[in-house]
Copies of this chain bind each other. A is one copy, B any other.
């Protein structure tokens, strides 16, 4: 239930409401057993979290999201803002439809379209005029509902993998359902629509240009079916203004033109279809939407296969069941109700992307191509935000959802086969070229080394080496590779370039590939790449104990300001952060970095300063491993325990603004999940975890025995309480454990990790 005073509340009131919202928003009881009942889909829907409250199934292609970022007086954020990447913002008031394709937790606008809007009364097709305030919002996994105040319509929605269904309960009188193809979050435009019958519409809409990359264009196909035949129906289009005097001669030039006597194909920019009905009081009309990224025909196949009938209740029950099945892979006991809500909501957000791409018949659009291919055995996944997710999403999926992670690995290798290059930020088979680095190498190596070998590693290795070694102009992932290969760094080029960030990513990627090379017996590659991965040392300026941009001759860039770059301001050499947020970002060689700094004391001092001086940024990826790095210094592990727990409590809570920033397709959530369970994959492609105190009394991770030699991992906390965040002693498999690093294999084989907690650090 959305509190009615939130709408006009000041920030403080809003935050207060947000803080207590968990208790009101959800239909679960505190004695409920099912994990889905702990999920609050409103978490992250404010404060740039960019998650959405609408229903989706695990890794589902389709979600149904109330779209409320149309510019309007009551809307605090709107799609006129360059950054606005949310189809829904909790703080906003006015809703203009339910979008059927959406991205969760990303930082650029895309999708957020194929909008269905129920209205009543006379037909109004201008989205600037048909919006409504909503109330009584409810959201849980696989279900969303709201009351549309202006129209007195109750709207509910649920989904299957490739389809959505909405149920609208109308008052008596004239009812309309609008399908708007001209509005939405995506920056790409242009659509096609055809009324097939008085109960069916088909069409497609162009989406894409993610992060303003004009090449990343994606057509999305759909079929809409209504449970009741329309008594009138037609299209609309906002007519372009006709030139010269024609504008005066035409009654529709520059206007929303209603087509009520035309029912063949329509195409254009600002277009849509309207279906009108007469309804009795309380009458429901359901609208099913099938989606495909291949063709209209496939959208219809998806709809027929996944929702052969109109059965909202059963569809919703199945969606909930699927969530409970996946969320139950991790069981937590103890901790507060709020902890459980934070945890299961994070797990929920983890399981949205990379989502299924192929249709029920296996067809999917090939990477960077117009070809349509067919899957062979594994699911094809899409939406790989790899600069984010290599850090913790894929390691966590590897451990808990190895089948899906294996499918993702296969998807990535197939992308290489199809396009000649591994993905970086793949969105529905288009490389969007967002962020830098070569993160596919980390994911592939890390997963392989953690035991997921069910993919074509030879081909993967070929693709990884191609991206690591190709020079000239041909390498889209590493555009300055000739210089890098020779000098092991990237020279500062221009004001505000990202050269240091870029190089740091390549070191991590090269290190990962060097580990895989070693595992595959390719010793020379291993040595060459490992040496390259230590190139970071060139950037280290002992004057500051920080990374500093380098000129082409290897000297430091003059006029270095280590504080430049706070609050996403432009900065020389770094991307979305400053030198402080990148200087420890060599997870593969923290001990080497420590030596550069002059030893452990200096390292701890510098790392502590990051936190004490407010230089740490929880909302972005480069420094998200920092809290765990104290574990590299014996005797200082309590600092990790304190810092991790502080971050868990400070940056994450159960309100709509309960994420510190973009969820980054689950990366923030994965950080939270690990941190609440007490371990973290601190160094990519090193199959190790470093440890901290869990939030829960007991965590049980159910393993997939097809992939791992163990049934489950149990993590137990003795004397767990809110204050007892420090580890007094540890046991692994019943035997004392004294190190704070354990291997992935050890954890699985022993399967039982026990912490004894205290309110004081053991120093």
- Seen from chain A, the residues whose Cβ lies within 8 Å of a Cβ on chain B are 71, 78-82, 109, 187, 189-192, 195, 204-206, 209, 212, 214-215, 217, 219, 237, 239-240, 242-246, 248-253, 257, 259, 261-271, 365, 368, 370
Contacts and interface: CB of A to CB of B under 8 A. Distances in A.
A187 B81 contact: no
Contacts of A262: 215, 217, 370
A280 to B, nearest CB: 29
Given A189-B268, A190-B267, A267-B190, A79 B243 contact: yes
Contact of A269 (B78, B214, B240): B240
B80 A243 contact: yes
B246 A204 contact: no
Given A82-B245, A244-B81, A187 B267 contact: no
A129 B116 CA distance: 40
Given A82-B249, A239-B189, A259-B217, A267 B206 contact: yes
A215 B264 CA distance: 13
B267 A214 contact: no
A245 to B, nearest CB: 4
B245 A80 contact: yes
A678 to B, nearest CB: 41
A265 B209 contact: no
Nearest to A270: B240
A423 B183 CA distance: 38
Instruction: Select the residue from A204, A237, A250, A264 with max chain B CB neighbours within 10 A.
Output: A264
A212 B268 contact: no
A260 B215 CA distance: 8
A463 B240 CA distance: 38
A269 B189 CA distance: 10
Contact of A370 (B79, B81, B264, B365): B264
A249 B217 contact: no
A365 B252 CA distance: 25
Contacts of A237: 189-190
Nearest to A252: B214
Contact of A80 (B79, B204, B246, B251): B246
A251 B79 contact: no
A201 to B, nearest CB: 13
Contacts of A215: 261-262
Contacts of A79: 243-244, 246
13 contacts: A81-B245, A187-B246, A190-B268, A191-B268, A205-B267, A206-B267, A209-B252, A212-B249, A214-B257, A262-B370, A263-B370, A264-B365, A264-B370
A259 B257 CA distance: 29
Given A214-B252, A265-B204, A192 B189 contact: no
Contacts of A195: 370
A267 B82 contact: no
B368 A243 contact: no
